[in-house]
Structure 1
C-alpha cells in the first residue's frame, strides 16, 4: 500500500448529525488530514464545495433541504466547480438498491454506518491512491463503474454478449481438443 500524505488533502464532510460529523472529523484528523470543512445539510454542503473546492467529499445520504444523492448529482454536473472530485457516500441505508443508485449518479465509494477507522481509511485510500478513470456518456458522468478489467475485450465488442458467449464456447472447445 502506497503511503498517502494526508496532510496535503482537504475534505468536506456533509452530515446532518452533529455527533457523526465529529466522529468523521476525529477520524480524518487521526489520519493526518488538517484541512477539514463541515456542512450540516446538502445546501450548505454545495455552498462549502463551491467555496473551498475540497479534494474529497464525504456526504451522508439522508439530510434536510436536499440530500447527499442530490448533492452528488450537483457536484457531477459538467459546469460545476470540480465535477471530478471523489465522493464517498456515507449512509445508514445500505440496501443493494441504494448502493446501485449511488454508483449510478457517480459516487466513487459507498460507506455504511456504523463506520470504523479502517473502513473510512480504505475508502479514502481507494479514491486517492487508486482513482478510477471518469466516463462520460449521454446518461452518465462519473468514475468508471467497473472496478476490475472485464473479460479482456476492448473497443466496441467489450459489451457484445454474443461475442462473449462465443469466446467462452471457443475456449471450451479448444480445451477439449487439447485434452
Structure 2
C-alpha cells in the first residue's frame, strides 16, 4: 500500500499522543501527517487540506471526540462528511464501541494500541471502504459488518441479495 500518498490528520489534545501516532505513521511511510489539538482546529485543517483519514481521540476538551464525529458527519456543517475516522481511545468497553459506531466512526481502536493494529485499520479503510448510509437518525459508514445469508428482512442490502 502506498502510505506516502495518504493525507492523515491526527486529532488529540495530548501532544505526546499525537507525536506517538505521527511516529508510527511515519514508520509506515506516511509523509503528509497533519495534527490538530482541538475540534475547531480539526475543522480548520479539513477546510484547508484534502484529508484521507482522521485518527481521533475520544477524550478531548472543550469538545470531545464523539461530539466532533457527529459534527463531521453532518453534511450541512462538515467540510468532508465522508472522511474515514479511526477512533483511538482508552475507552474500550462495548458500550463505548457501540456509541462510537453509532456516531459514525469508521474504525475503533483501544489504547494502548499496536502499530500492527493501526496498520490493519488503515488498510481496511483503503482496501475495503465501507459504503455510507443515510437514514433519518444516522449518516456514516455502514455499521453492518457481518453478512447474514439467512436474513430475508426488508432492510437487506442489495449487494447481499442472492439470486435464485
Say whether the fold is shared (TM-score over 0.5): yes
Partners in 1 of 2:104 and 2:34 — Cα distance? 22
Aligned residues: 156
* Aligned mates of 1:19, 1:101 — CA distance in 2: 26
Tell which structure's C-alpha radius of gyration is larger: 1
Query: Is 1:111 matched with 2:109?
Result: yes
Q: Which residue of structure 1 aligns with residue 23 of structure 2?
A: 26
Give the match for residue 8 of structure 2.
11
| Runs of at least 4 residues off by over 6 Å | none
* Separation of aligned partners in 2, 1:31 and 1:58: 15
Correspondence for 1:167: none
Q: Secondary structure at the match of 2:154?
A: helix
Note the C-alpha offset of 1:76: 0.6
Which whole-Å deviations, capped at 9, do the CAs of 1:60-102 have from their partners, x for residues lacking one?
0000120111111111111322111100001011111110000
Q: Contact 1:53–1:81 at 8 Å: present in 2 too?
A: no
Unaligned runs of 5+ in 2: 158-164
Q: Pick one of 133, 138, 141 that aligns with 2:139.
A: 141
Q: Residue 91 of structure 2 aligns with which residue?
A: 93
Q: TM-score, normalised by structure 1?
A: 0.82
Conserved in 2, the CA contact under 8 Å of 1:10 and 1:56? yes
Q: Which runs of 5+ in 1 are unaligned?
A: 160-179
Instruction: Go from structure 1 to structure 2 and tell me whether the alpha carbon gap of 1:142 and 1:154 turns closer, same or farther (over 3 Å shift).
Output: farther
RMSD: 1.6
TM normalised by structure 2 equals 0.89
Name the one with the larger helix percent: 1
